[in-house]
Structure 1
């Protein structure tokens, strides 16, 4: 295979991607990497926080912002149609939007639990259903979910989040089986401990916790948001066409550490 052909396999040039929660944290890193690979990116988010608007504006016109609350599932098809009209058929969907409710189960209400599932699972399901016909129409698509270490291991005070992230694995497996014949792959990334504002807030005043985390990671260091973005760009490329129904940990080896 010629070098130019290899480069095309990793390029997202000419493709439209939608990224939920794509204006902050890991989502912003994914947005940057998809745009750098050539994709037109529709960032779906309830709001632009911090300096996200300035960062997105720097991405050379490759990024458009669409205010939307993914829990409003009755409007999922509407936002998918708007993005198609603006940017063309969507070939890539990254389900990254999420929320947390850090409480022990005895302190968490059923409503709080349900709200976490509504974002991570129900909202992602509805958007996937809305965008999937565009991918089937073109016989090509990449659907990506953000799983978590809590998809595999138990952590206290995140029962809603852990339920949702474990559920994502079941959704990925089923969708991969259902959509493969249409040229669509469905995968997930399970980020480990990544250097985000949320992580720094959780560990800055708790050095013992930080050392415990580092002791579990064979790489001996916390990951960068761009580590997740790079993996996402690869899984969304044609080069990853035979990877389907998988969840790839981006964790420095934390899942196999001790």
Structure 2
């Protein structure tokens, strides 16, 4: 598709028809919203999650054959190559990878063990690196691809009790920059999304009985509202589409302006 062609239609630029994506953690929370948006744009989604197939079945049922599930522990980095080869053998060419899997350990640094810290890095940063490394040779062969890392406001700002999480999320920015420099010539784009406060069960659990905390959060958001998971999903679908073909090495905040709020 050429944007200079006389028959250009802007809707075509946002289509993911014929693309197959891997989405880690794609059956719950923000990952499920990303799966929903990619499928809506025409992609087939390979959901990779630590959940069992039975646990993921109900949340993915709405997508029919457009979403398939692979159970995998992303911290088993020595098996990432086997997983990618299995997926490609069974599902065909992969052109999109969304690194969304994660966990959380909320402790002050003096209470957080080295094992706690390492575990968070293994899931977020090292696991994502291993899966990306395993897929890159395939993307280079076809000279196209889009890789998206799920960053965070903690990639930029300090928050207490999330030292492992913030280290991993800040690390994504370094990966995005380096991978862009290494892979752009092969037609592979690498970007990130930094969600702000999004209306998820985790957010409600943290704020429903803490009016002071909720007021502090809302006071920081210029939009005066929290986001919808679909806001993040739509951003992911955009970044993977031809409409974002010249966006590379970027991290897009989806936060209602929270990063610049005061």
Structure 1 spans left out of the alignment, 5+ residues: none
Deviation (angstroms), 1:4? 5.3
| Deviation of the 1:61 alpha carbon | 1.2
Q: Provide the aligned C-alpha RMSD in A.
A: 1.4
Q: Secondary structure at the match of 2:177?
A: helix
**Aligned CA distance change for structure 1 residues 189 and 49 (closer, same or farther; 3 Å):** farther
User: In the alignment, what sits opposite 2:191?
Assistant: 187
Aligned counterpart in structure 1 of residue 180 of structure 2, from 159, 176, 179: 176
Cα distance between partner residues in 2 of 1:65 and 1:29: 15
1:85 and 2:55 correspond:
no
- Compute the TM-score of the two structures, normalised by the length of structure 1: 0.97
> Which of the numbers 141, 146, 150 marks the counterpart of 2:145?
141
Q: Secondary structure at the residue paired with 1:102?
A: coil
Secondary structure of the residue aligned to 1:227 is helix
Alpha-carbon shift at residue 82 of structure 1 (Å): 1.0
Shift in Å, 1:76: 0.1
Kept after mapping to 2: 8 A contact 1:218/1:254: yes
* Structure 1 residues 187 and 102, CA gap change in structure 2 (3 angstroms): same
CA–CA distance in structure 1, aligned partners of residues 150 and 6 of structure 2: 33
1:206 aligns with 2:210: yes
Query: Structure 2 matches for 1:106-117, cutoff 5 A?
Result: 106-117=110-121
The 8 Å contact of residues 23 and 48 in structure 1, kept in 2 or not, is answered as: no
Checking the alignment, whether the CA contact within 8 Å between 1:40 and 1:87 is kept in structure 2 is no
Q: Give the structure 2 partner of residue 27 of structure 1.
A: 31
1:7: Cα distance to partner? 2.1
Q: How does 1:20-169 map to 2 (within 5 A)?
A: 20-47=24-51, 52-169=56-173
Aligned residues: 258
SS where residue 11 of structure 1 aligns?
coil
| Alpha-carbon shift at residue 85 of structure 1 (Å) | 1.1
TM-score, with length taken from structure 2: 0.95
Once the two structures are TM-superposed, the CA of residue 60 in structure 1 deviates from its matched residue by 3.1
Mapped to 2, the partners of 1:87 and 1:107 lie a distance apart of 44
Contact kept, 8 Å, 2:53 with 2:71, in 1: the verdict is no
Q: Which runs of 5 or more structure 2 residues have no equivalent in the other structure?
A: none
